[in-house]
Chain A
């Protein structure tokens, strides 16, 4: 009896450990790369592997081994999500793939996605992307001599797509691309963003991941120096701040209002994080309204003094201004500026030289030119350098490192701001917190970090991303959040065992930053989200992620507990995130051999442990029951396990 069980364990193991994790275990790097290529919409989650594989990225799809799946004729159409409706379909559309060449197939447009399918090939080719990633659609050239019309789609996720189809004979019929434009930019066309229609129910409710009071309680707040104020309960003090704020205990709410008057957009210094031992704090705010005349505010000065006093370990306060000093100074012309060290006793001001959103946007645009569709081999590194992308990453990480160092090694409290305190400030505080506090390096902790430092503190996702808005030249768009995720990725590279989440988790977040499937990244502030009833009307990205954590878990995670991570911010250790920026290029084979190997060994260990236990039981049984009859029992036929480790 038992022996057959032990032999079966090999085979049954695979089926019993169910779901996609088995994929990654058995089918090596390809499946992992496929998964990291594009997040599958959650509808696929409950269904079988067939549906799962259709959701994968187009170019990578080509070398997916499980091609038989795609021959299924039902795959002509996409698997629709709840409330997703096909809006138009066109046959004989050519997708001009920069890697494979022209592909002829069927194009489907729904209120959520673009789906292109070419079944003439083996394996079939599928392109499946949420319309939310489309930044702009342009008609390329007029009707050519051959009567083809060509459309280019510029996407927010580092790729451009080109399609062509025959000129319609019936001139009254709209091109499918006009339909596409309508649904790609719902906000500009008076339609609703798909998140509001999508009604998938998940086992877990992601909107419950973050609760400000719980998080502050985790940090030990309120305490003798810091209190929670409800002064912003109705967003009257500051409409871009969350309702729950933590301020020094000895500053009454009335004074907060006067401090708010001196800080841009009323964004007063509030606590982001407190060191559990030294009580040194990270506080964030916007620039002081100093102006050309060097205006001062007694209340603001007193307030910063209170922040300093809350930390008995140090008689100094560091103010980190994220901007280059020149830009900070230029802000005085518009009433802003920076703290003068004369006015703020014991405070030291440090400029972190991080450039503004426009520089970052331009840098990413250059990066796209360098990596998409093809990479020039010969001057790759010089080309990369000319985009300055990694230099910006370096400066952001270096800034966060200095903050973390001051708090950890110097036991000194820090105040962080830029101009408005919702872009660079969010990058810096959240990265510093990631270095300082191992909790944020878990999956749930990271979700809390994003909810707190980015969403509740008013990073303007709607403006920076431009959800559903056709105005692609909007100067408010900027990859600030992408930069942050890139910095996180750099840290995961340097500390591959320190983060509970894997690369796929980060890529998934970025994919759904644009997809408009979840409500998480909609709107610009907590106030707007409350007003729009986002948590009620949409699904949270964390619902999707937390319902299948295994997908996003780093198998090599070691709890570093109290270890502070100081990443190396030299360009020698920073690298371009190939798995995100160059993932469309099929030549770059993403690989995670370490994860792969580790999972294999874990499976092997489990199997061996089981066998050892079984054998032990057998040995015990025998020695107990029948110690007399030994020698050559016919039932014993244990085959030695083949190790290939």
Chain B
């Protein structure tokens, strides 16, 4: 067992010692001298600890494990093994903030107390003097920890149990979140990475994105100090004809916010639904006005889609996910093989994959409107910052290859989610509130959908599956400003308060999650890059598949009105635009009865028509949603489960090979450049180093499918996982099973 992130905090910030005086620590516990400490992060304080805690291995039947110290700080629950661990086996993919035996407090999903044979969910309040013999912690990143307290001193055991329960489950105020004490004590240099990721907290970023997509809308800067409405972002873009008065009328509700412009000129907008008011014409006429404004954006057409009506609610999403995730908290081998029997139907029944499918389907319908019909699209939703964010960002990913680059994707999340006002704080329940009504993994759902696209069209994405998995984990690392606030206004007001109370230290500078160097070193960050990514070829036409003229494929298209979107700057002919003008009259009808969910047959046709064209990884991408195409995000969900690790296998074995080859190619390229320059300078260069892929490929054989999250260490295990339990019982063996097999004589031949 490896100890937690040893080097990370230490090397970067030597100053942390001064903030946690030894006195403070001593006051928290009885026996400070014997206990081990993790390398605390700046601003991290140990609350309590207990020694001789036994961390059990996954299989609960074997009571084997490692002895060590369990402690709870204001950042994490941490276990430090008593065993000496070889520093040389430091994992390649190490998180600087927390190690493999650390659980950030916000990452705790559920705590169970193990009492003899029973297991009880700990809810917090009932903890008084009792403490269980075993603490079982389920983490939001799907890890499972089991700590036996039976060998601890009673006092220690009680204290650590209460401490963990208190700090992980009891509500806390935002200011007590670790990020604030961490950031107070750390100076983060401005990251280069950040500069390339557009944060959408300035007018320039919005202007740039609008310009990039050649949109023709209006950038609003009047809300920079939230003068218009706290519900609106600091900067945003609206259709040209929306007036300032319109923006304030309903505190920003009902206001169509620009998301993205299609090259035809039509654009995608999102809005939150107006509050329902009975017998009042104002909202309706306001809405008609807004719709007209949207329609004016391009050729007088608009299509609305009320996501609240057609997609699962945030509560549905939460319910489904809470069922789904349970399949991955495996307590024992027996558990694993028993649940294996009904694996497919369990997955089906929790509905999580179906929700993913519905979101992708909806996004595809939006794409269809933009791409095929060149309609402006206005998606709406009660809050305007949950499914609107999911659908608009998915649609943009499908339509715009810029967002499939690493920086583009991060910019997209900034634009649609962070600036777009997704309630990260509430949805992720960073404050451990007991009232879970607002909790819902909406952002995770989005990442799930992105993963589906990624696994279907690998070469289209610059970032890797590992990147998405790490991003999903980072939601629950309470350090990043990205996931701590409900909106830009919320963030601004909190930071202002914090600033005033700590004015002597200057402004708080919480890192964003995009500052990956906070968590990973450069080498580890390389795993974020997808080696399959086919970068946009520029001039080198000869290597590229000739692009055939698109009209060739149109004959087979079902709809006569379908025109493959022509190049940028192309305008539709007259008759077409007349048709669009006629449509504007129907807007009000759409308003009253929102579009019934489109019959999937039309989007089927859209998909099939698209599919018949040659695939262009830099063009439009549409997901295949047929049963087998929507899959489980194996890396995220199965990475900690011993039984499903493929030793020496998994996609990583080939991806690492591709990576190696990619490195070679780049190295050759550098050599080539060197040589061409040496031709001018006429310097002799050493011969290129012979490329030895052999040793590298050997290594890939030693990886496991859970790479990089679990490493094989020294115990390259040859022991396969053999199913146990009642295998035969699951088959509803009918008559056929009893038929004498193989024996032709015994059968009556037909």
Closest CB-CB distance, B540 to chain A, in whole Å?
4
Contact of A140 with B by CB under 8 A? no
Q: A391, B459: Cβ atoms under 8 Å?
A: no
Contact of A343 with B by CB under 8 A? no
Q: Which residues of A contact B645 (CB under 8 A)?
A: 568
A324, A376, A496, A632: residue with the most chain B Cβ atoms closer than 10 Å: A496
Q: Which of A357, A565, A598, A627 contacts B648 (CB 8 A)?
A: A565
Q: B743, A420: Cβ atoms under 8 Å?
A: yes
Cα distance A325–B733 when bound, in Å?
Answer: 13
Q: A605, B665: Cβ atoms under 8 Å?
A: yes
Q: Which of B614, B669, B682, B747 contacts A643 (CB 8 A)?
A: B669
Within 8 A of B (CB), among A558-599: 558, 560, 563-573, 575-576, 578, 582, 585-589, 591, 593-594, 596-598
Given the contacts A63-B612, A498-B648, A642-B540, A570 and B336 also touching, CB distance less than 8 Å? yes
Q: Which residues of B contact A571 (CB under 8 A)?
A: 340-341, 343-344
Q: B697, A608: Cβ atoms under 8 Å?
A: no
Contact of A227 with B by CB under 8 A? no
Cα distance A385–B731 when bound, in Å?
Answer: 11
Q: Which residues of A contact B627 (CB under 8 A)?
A: 375-377, 380-381, 383-384
Q: Which of A359, A601, A618, A632 contacts B665 (CB 8 A)?
A: A601
Q: Which of A377, A402, A586 contacts B722 (CB 8 A)?
A: A402
Proximity bits, A602-645, B CB within 8 Å = 1, else 0: 10110011011001101110110001001010001010111111
Contact of B225 with A by CB under 8 A? no
Closest CB-CB distance, B546 to chain A, in whole Å?
9
Q: B682, A357: Cβ atoms under 8 Å?
A: no
Proximity bits, B676-715, A CB within 8 Å = 1, else 0: 1011101011011000000001001100010000000000
Given the contacts A391-B731, A405-B722, A588-B626, A612 and B671 also touching, CB distance less than 8 Å? yes
Closest CB-CB distance, A499 to chain B, in whole Å?
11
Contact of B607 with A by CB under 8 A? yes
Closest CB-CB distance, B675 to chain A, in whole Å?
4
Q: Which of B676, B727, B737 contacts A615 (CB 8 A)?
A: B676
Cα distance A544–B498 when bound, in Å?
Answer: 75
Closest CB-CB distance, B135 to chain A, in whole Å?
27
Closest CB-CB distance, B644 to chain A, in whole Å?
5
Q: A358, B750: Cβ atoms under 8 Å?
A: no
Q: A587, B611: Cβ atoms under 8 Å?
A: yes
Cα distance A619–B688 when bound, in Å?
Answer: 13
Closest CB-CB distance, B452 to chain A, in whole Å?
14
Contact of B173 with A by CB under 8 A? no
Q: Which of B536, B629, B701 contacts A588 (CB 8 A)?
A: B629
Q: Which of B675, B701, B747 contacts A560 (CB 8 A)?
A: B701
Contact of B282 with A by CB under 8 A? no
Contact of A497 with B by CB under 8 A? yes
- Which label, helix, strand, loop or mixed, suits the secondary structure of the A interface? loop
Q: Which of A30, A362, A418, A636 contacts B614 (CB 8 A)?
A: A30
Given the contacts A331-B740, A556-B654, A558-B697, A587 and B624 also touching, CB distance less than 8 Å? yes
Q: Which of B537, B654, B720, B750 contacts A566 (CB 8 A)?
A: B720
Cα distance A390–B730 when bound, in Å?
Answer: 13
Nearest neighbor of B555 in chain A, beta-carbon distance: A122
Closest CB-CB distance, B676 to chain A, in whole Å?
5
Nearest neighbor of A377 in chain B, beta-carbon distance: B627
Given the contacts A587-B611, A598-B658, A593 and B458 also touching, CB distance less than 8 Å? yes
Q: B658, A597: Cβ atoms under 8 Å?
A: yes
Nearest neighbor of B718 in chain A, beta-carbon distance: A409
Contact of B664 with A by CB under 8 A? yes
Cα distance A230–B165 when bound, in Å?
Answer: 75
Q: Which of A359, A565, A572, A582 contacts B736 (CB 8 A)?
A: A359
Contact of B32 with A by CB under 8 A? no
A65, A408, A632: residue with the most chain B Cβ atoms closer than 10 Å: A65
Given the contacts A558-B697, A623-B684, A385 and B679 also touching, CB distance less than 8 Å? no
Cα distance A622–B458 when bound, in Å?
Answer: 45
Contact of B628 with A by CB under 8 A? yes
Contact of B578 with A by CB under 8 A? no
Nearest neighbor of A493 in chain B, beta-carbon distance: B649
Stretch in B97-105, B196-204, B346-354, B365-373 touching the partner: B346-354
Q: Which of B538, B608, B701, B740 contacts A587 (CB 8 A)?
A: B608
Given the contacts A334-B743, A496-B651, A381 and B700 also touching, CB distance less than 8 Å? no
B542, B643, B651, B653: residue with the most chain A Cβ atoms closer than 10 Å: B653
Q: B348, A644: Cβ atoms under 8 Å?
A: no
Q: A644, B535: Cβ atoms under 8 Å?
A: yes
Closest CB-CB distance, A329 to chain B, in whole Å?
11
Q: B668, A567: Cβ atoms under 8 Å?
A: no
Q: Which residues of A contact B548 (CB under 8 A)?
A: 65
Nearest neighbor of B747 in chain A, beta-carbon distance: A475
Cα distance A582–B624 when bound, in Å?
Answer: 14
Contact of A143 with B by CB under 8 A? no
Within 8 A of B (CB), among A230-261: none
Q: Which residues of A contact B537 (CB under 8 A)?
A: 642, 644
Closest CB-CB distance, A61 to chain B, in whole Å?
11
Contact of A11 with B by CB under 8 A? yes
Within 8 A of B (CB), among A514-558: 556, 558
Given the contacts A385-B345, A636-B679, A640-B676, A494 and B650 also touching, CB distance less than 8 Å? yes
Contact of A327 with B by CB under 8 A? yes
Q: Which of B615, B631, B687, B728 contacts A30 (CB 8 A)?
A: B615
Closest CB-CB distance, A414 to chain B, in whole Å?
14
Contact of B738 with A by CB under 8 A? yes
Q: Which residues of B contact A401 (CB under 8 A)?
A: 720, 722
Cα distance A278–B607 when bound, in Å?
Answer: 56
Contact of A10 with B by CB under 8 A? yes
Q: B649, A587: Cβ atoms under 8 Å?
A: no
Contact of B741 with A by CB under 8 A? yes
Q: A408, B731: Cβ atoms under 8 Å?
A: no
Closest CB-CB distance, B636 to chain A, in whole Å?
13
Cα distance A383–B611 when bound, in Å?
Answer: 26
Contact of A201 with B by CB under 8 A? no
B665, B721, B741, B744: residue with the most chain A Cβ atoms closer than 10 Å: B741
Nearest neighbor of A324 in chain B, beta-carbon distance: B728
Proximity bits, A340-365, B CB within 8 Å = 1, else 0: 00000000000001011111001000
Given the contacts A377-B627, A558-B701, A62 and B612 also touching, CB distance less than 8 Å? yes
Q: A594, B662: Cβ atoms under 8 Å?
A: no
Closest CB-CB distance, A469 to chain B, in whole Å?
12
Closest CB-CB distance, B550 to chain A, in whole Å?
12
Contact of B723 with A by CB under 8 A? yes
Q: Which residues of A contact B718 (CB under 8 A)?
A: 408-409, 564, 566
Q: B611, A616: Cβ atoms under 8 Å?
A: no
Given the contacts A30-B614, A391-B730, A598-B654, A573 and B687 also touching, CB distance less than 8 Å? no
Q: Which of B353, B647, B678, B723 contacts A569 (CB 8 A)?
A: B723
Closest CB-CB distance, B594 to chain A, in whole Å?
23
Q: A356, B344: Cβ atoms under 8 Å?
A: no
Q: Which 3 pairs, one residue from A and one from B, show the smallest C-beta to C-beta distance?
A: A380-B627, A356-B741, A566-B720
**Contacts A570-B644, A586-B611, A619-B678 known; 17 new A-B pairs at CB < 8 A:** A334-B740, A356-B739, A356-B742, A359-B736, A381-B627, A495-B646, A495-B653, A566-B718, A568-B643, A570-B340, A570-B721, A572-B340, A588-B626, A615-B676, A640-B676, A643-B666, A643-B669
Q: Footprint of B on A, CB under 8 Å?
A: 10-11, 26-30, 62-63, 65, 121-122, 323-327, 330-331, 334, 353, 355-359, 362, 375-385, 388, 390-391, 394-395, 398, 401-402, 404-405, 408-409, 418-420, 422-423, 463, 471, 473-476, 494-498, 556, 558, 560, 563-573, 575-576, 578, 582, 585-589, 591, 593-594, 596-598, 601-602, 604-605, 608-609, 611-612, 615-616, 618-620, 622-623, 627, 630, 632, 636, 638, 640-645
Q: 23 interchain pairs (CB within 8 A)?
A: A11-B542, A26-B545, A27-B614, A30-B614, A327-B741, A330-B740, A334-B746, A355-B737, A375-B626, A380-B348, A382-B348, A385-B342, A401-B720, A419-B740, A422-B742, A463-B744, A568-B643, A568-B646, A594-B654, A601-B662, A604-B665, A643-B669, A644-B535
